[in-house]
Amino acid sequence: MHDTIASLGEFGLIRELFLPLQFGEGLGEFDCGIGDDAAVLTIPRTQQLLTTVDTLVEGIHFGSDADPFLLGQKALRVNLADIAAMGGVPHWYLLSLALPASTPLFWARRLAEGLAEDGQRYRLSLVGGDTVASRSGSITITITLFGLVGQQRAVLRSTAQLGDRLLVSGSIGDSALGLACRLGRIVSPQQQDDIDYLTRRHDLPEPRLELAQMLQDSSLLHAAIDISDGLIADLGHLCNQSRLGAQLHVDHIPLSAAAKRLYERDGSALEPLLWSGGEDYELLLSVSPGALEMVGHAAQRCQVTVTDIGVVVQDPGIAYYRAGQPMAPLSHTGWTHF
């Protein structure tokens, strides 16, 4: 018989599991964190505040058998990817948890351990939150993340420029393939290594904070967005908000070795999943053609690949190219919740 969170109680949970996630000095200044009515944060006068919120819902974003250690980290990292896309530095977060009273205590403990590890990795402090019961038996994890960026230095979606090259970090489609493997929607004859790699990419995004900050420090970014709804949809957001369009070279979209092996087998049937599956949490960057070489150097220093997949053009919408030739647009262009 395992203990449930009810054995510790709401305030016991906060004291034992969450208070240790609040780091002291050196990790972003705050005057008052967990335990008062609100957190009090000091924003240096040269900086603006960035804030973003994401909710993960059991049965939608994760299954009931998901590892809570990874779940805590994913909840943080989907927000970290947003801060990266603004060119900012993350510092603090609020955690709001809705949990059934029957949730095993070890589940909550593992969640906190995952948060603790990523808190150290990314130098983040928990500064408050809310812990409530959920009657429906389903878990909801909401993280509000706070970062800083120099005054008027945030990298927006709406400031891409005509002629900009479009770059993506890392590889695209792994997360959607990983989820499809897990759900049995792709029966894979692949090596277990490939499946492990792809599901890992789904479970644990890699926010490209270092790359984004380095590029932002050198003023190399005209615009950026993190790829959460799928490459096609998020490229659409960037273009629409910049009142421009894009030529997208679909055969330039970077795939991992594992994704390539699946793609070689299943071919174009896999393309909607790869390009529009979502949850990549890679960066899509819009940069001046003259900056490409410097961006490449920065990426090398961060050990992140960046790949040129197209160009910003005047005509609105996305024009698709394969092997240099125009092709028909995709019908399924991105994840939407309803």
Please identify which residue in 34, 225, 244, 253 interacts with its own copies, judged by CB under 8 A.
225
Half-sphere exposure of 116 (CA within 13 A, CB side): 12
Residue 42 as a binder of its own copies (CB under 8 A): the answer is: yes
Where in 237-266 is the site for its own copies (CB under 8 A)?
241
Residue 161 as a binder of its own copies (CB under 8 A): the answer is: no
Task: Retrieve residue 191's tokens.
Answer: 């090596």
Which range binds its own copies by CB under 8 A, 49-57, 164-172, 191-199, 319-327?
A: 49-57
Residue 11 as a binder of its own copies (CB under 8 A): the answer is: yes
Minimum CB–partner distance for residue 128 and its own copies (Å)? 6
Orientation angle between helical segments 257-266 and 192-203, nearest 10 degrees? 110
Query: Across 114-244, where does the E strand assignment appear?
Result: 125-133, 140-150, 165-169, 223-226
Q: Cα separation of 257 and 272, whole Å?
A: 18
Orientation angle between helical segments 257-266 and 174-182, nearest 10 degrees? 70
Which range binds its own copies by CB under 8 A, 129-137, 160-168, 249-257, 262-270?
A: 129-137
Please identify which residue in 22, 144, 190, 216 interacts with its own copies, judged by CB under 8 A.
144
Pairing of strands 125-133, 89-99: parallel
Please identify which residue in 27, 66, 133, 313 interacts with its own copies, judged by CB under 8 A.
133
CB of 234 or CB of 271, closer to its own copies: 234
Burial 61-84 (b: 16+ CB within 10 A, else e): bbeeebbbbbbbbbbbbbbbbbbb
Where in 89-128 is the site for its own copies (CB under 8 A)?
94, 96-99, 101, 127-128
Which range binds its own copies by CB under 8 A, 17-25, 47-55, 198-206, 285-293?
A: 47-55
